[in-house]
Amino acid sequence: MDYFSLTLCEAQKLLESEDITSVQLTESVLSRIDVVEDRVKSFITLDKEGALDQAEEADQQRRKGKAGMLSGLPISVKDVLCTSNMRTTCGSKILENFIPPYDATVIEKLKTEGAVIVGKVAMDEFAMGSTNENCAFNVPENPWKKGFVAGGSSGGSAACVAADESLASLGSDTGGSIRQPASLCGVVGMKPTYGRVSRYGLVAFASSLDQVGPLTKDVADCALMLNVISGYDRCDSTSINSPVPDYTSSLRDGLGGIKVGVPVEYFDKGLDPEVELVVRSGIDMLRDAGADILEVSLPHTEYCVAVYYLIAPAEASSNLARYDGVRYGYRELDTDSLIDMYRRTRSHGFGEEVKRRILIGTYALSAGYYDAYYKKASQVRTLIKDDFARAFDRCDLVVSPVTPTPSWRIGEKADDPLALYLSDILTISANLAGIPGLSVPAGFSGGGLPIGMQMQAAHFNEEVLLRAAWNLEQRAGVKGKKPDLG
């Protein structure tokens, strides 16, 4: 049996029954990485020795009756989360050799529950991108089709899970960076409510938008991961101190009494016909499961991209000011003065997309322009949030496509940043409103590329998303299908 192909829940049962050990499971995953990594290119840092040590420790703890919720399960982590024993690059040359002095809170939670962290996976530099082409080290490829993008910025996480290089992964989502690659790679990805999961130790891109979440092989695994990483953290001032439910208990058959809203603005021109066909079919499956389907409106959707690309770069401009070559990270040595060192370090350390967004954000915050740009964008952001509040007065969740198209060729949109920005049009709104969103595999294009369905709900209503996604998963006939990687 190929243990690497197991889901978290499947592997957990085998470990509990002592049919396999964590060392055997981890060795299987590491062997899988050896076979397919040259094709997938998902890892920035792979820690084989450390993973096997963690697996041995997990086996020892299990024999003592001290197994945690993720005990002995091999998991990867997006390289934007601080790890005290492993470098954290954020996909950037400026942090190429940076090893943090502490673990992010979510990493502490993984370790407390006995997870085996096999390594750190690729991402767009500082999470700025939709294809992973902005990574300074390697560009992951979609496991379903060679030469096609895995999505971004959590493309390494999505590709890694789809290729069975880890049983699950943690990513981050600022404007769709979990849901979009999950859809393009055919895995489940969730952005929880802002404040549900601690951001402490998540290297900041846009602090009012960033959120950590899981990418998994199925919905049950997503619920399990969410159980582990959720909860209040006094180290994060934006963390919400409210009880965390058992998300796995929401996975039950039938959607009787659930109202599903279909936003008319999300099925507009520019949507690929194959994507619309798959999502419409998924809506029919939700109806068959007992849900009531109704049409809703989110009238300020057309402003989402403009609002996001003012707020996110403005916050990035502030957050990335700390990378100056003085305290840590890359430093340009061949300089004439302190100011020249700042300029050269940041010019050579940051990639083009990061510099582009810093410039946009700095301009939006500059004297004389703040009110016209950042302040106005923040006001429209409130209107977008209010749109969702009105929609959720009528329904329990809204469903839509995740992306306007399936995956595309690497390099196809590299010279057109605006086209890439527009590819996030269907996911950005959840971050602006702070609501939870989830992508669940719903079907395939004629060319064999995965297509996901997006589900969004009111604040802290992740349970209804997981329940609806689980019901779709049972009916869509997609679960368990794997890309052919040899």
Dihedral Cα 370, 376, 378, 382, nearest 10 deg? 170
Told to judge if 318 belongs to the known catalytic residues of this protein, a careful annotator would answer no
Using DSSP's 3-state secondary structure scheme, residue 213 falls into strand
Q: What is the DSSP string of 317-336?
A: HHHGGG-SSSSSS----S-S
| Total domains, the chain | 1
Token pair for 24:
């055997």
As a whole-number percent, the residues of the chain with pLDDT over 90 amount to 94
Q: Is 132 left (phi over 0), alpha (psi -120 to 50) or beta?
A: left
Task: Please provide the average confidence, as pLDDT, over all residues in the chain.
Answer: 96
**DSSP classification of residue 193:** P
The catalytically annotated residue of 41, 42, 71, 78 is: 78
pLDDT band at 268 (very low <50, low <70, confident <90, very high): confident
Q: Classify residue 410: in a domain, yes or no.
A: no
Q: Classify residue 244: in a domain, yes or no.
A: yes
Q: Classify residue 452: in a domain, yes or no.
A: no
Tell me which H or E stretch contains 296. strand 292-296
Domain span at residue 96 reads 3-249
**Average pLDDT over every residue of 112-129:** 98
Q: Classify residue 20: in a domain, yes or no.
A: yes
Say if strands 450-457 and 437-444 run parallel, antiparallel, or are unpaired.
antiparallel
- Determine the Cα–Cα distance for residues 58 and 65; give it in Å rounded to an integer: 10
Output the pLDDT for position 34.
Answer: 98
Q: Classify residue 56: in a domain, yes or no.
A: yes
Q: Classify residue 305: in a domain, yes or no.
A: no
Q: Measuring CA to CA, which residue among 375, 426, 420, 139 is closest to residue 271?
A: 426
**Average pLDDT over every residue of 259-270:** 93
Told to judge if 407 belongs to the known catalytic residues of this protein, a careful annotator would answer no
The catalytically annotated residue of 76, 166, 177, 439 is: 177
Told to judge if 157 belongs to the known catalytic residues of this protein, a careful annotator would answer no
**Average pLDDT over every residue of 265-275:** 92
Q: Classify residue 43: in a domain, yes or no.
A: yes
As a whole-number percent, the residues of the chain with pLDDT over 70 amount to 100
More confident residue, 424 or 109: 109
pLDDT band at 415 (very low <50, low <70, confident <90, very high): confident
- Determine the Cα–Cα distance for residues 309 and 431; give it in Å rounded to an integer: 12
Output the pLDDT for position 2.
Answer: 93
Sheet (strand 450-457) strand order: 43-46, 116-121, 74-78, 168-173, 211-216, 188-191, 437-444, 450-457, 397-401, 259-263, 292-296
Output the pLDDT for position 133.
Answer: 96
Output the pLDDT for position 73.
Answer: 98
CATH number, position 100: 3.90.1300.10
pLDDT per residue over 160-195, tens digit each?
A: 999 999 999 999 999 999 999 999 999 999 999 999
Q: Classify residue 219: in a domain, yes or no.
A: yes
Output the pLDDT for position 348.
Answer: 94
Output the pLDDT for position 269.
Answer: 81
pLDDT per residue over 306-354, tens digit each?
A: 999 999 999 999 999 999 999 889 999 989 999 999 999 999 999 999 9
The catalytically annotated residue of 28, 42, 92, 153 is: 153
Evaluate the CA torsion angle 373, 375, 376, 379 in order and state its sign: positive
Is the confidence at residue 420, as pLDDT, over 80? no
pLDDT per residue over 29-71, tens digit each?
A: 999 999 999 999 999 999 999 999 999 999 999 999 999 999 9
pLDDT per residue over 428-458, tens digit each?
A: 999 999 999 999 999 999 999 999 999 999 9
**Average pLDDT over every residue of 401-417:** 91
